[in-house]
Amino acid sequence: MNAVIPVISFLARHFLFVGFAMFTGCVLWVVVYFLLLAIAVVGDLGVGGPLALPAGLIAVIAACLFLGWGVFAPASGIGAIFCRLLNLPRLAAIPIVTVAAFLLTYAVYSGYIELVTTHSRPSAWPVLMNFAIYLSVPLGVYWWLTEGPGALFDSFRWWIRSRRLPKTTRELSESQNA
């Protein structure tokens, strides 16, 4: 039971955040759509086709589902498993999550290149540059909103525990002599 509760908590946090990201993205898309529609009407420009609103909503939902459950949540899970196995504070998962997200992105991109196009497998450098430019900030926001509060609390507990334990045998002997 002690192993099941953290897994359920992890899945619930990520499920709720991906849903929140989809809701927020859809609301932003609707606001932008109607703002552009108002500008087009006032400026006597073409208003566009009737499928722009639903196509934008579908694109937002697909992007949130793909990035949330295809890259960000698995990378966060890998970082959490790594920290639990090595008994590290959860803040130590940040570089592991970043590397795991890059590797997942590279695997998805390579799979896309292999399945859809006729190009050869891409080198890791352009994928790393694109990951750093386009996905590092969203990954950081995602991690800090889903795992950050618990990680800060966990780090605070580690700090308190380290302050309570004597550091060296000399300190131990000094405390016993005093």
pLDDT at 32: 93
pLDDT at 169: 56
Q: Which of 144, 13, 170 is nearest to 91 (CA)?
A: 144
- Give pLDDT tens digits for 93-139: 999 999 999 999 888 888 877 778 777 777 878 888 888 888 888 98
Give the mean model confidence (pLDDT) for residues 131-150. Answer: 88
Cβ atoms of 22 and 64 within 8 Å: the answer is: yes
CA torsion 117-119-123-125 (nearest 10°) is: -70
Domain boundaries, given as residue ranges, for the chain: 4-166
Cβ atoms of 102 and 120 within 8 Å: the answer is: no
Averaged pLDDT score across all residues of the chain:
86
Cα dist from 147 to 76, 104, 117, 153, whole Å: 8, 19, 36, 10
- Give pLDDT tens digits for 161-172: 777 765 555 555
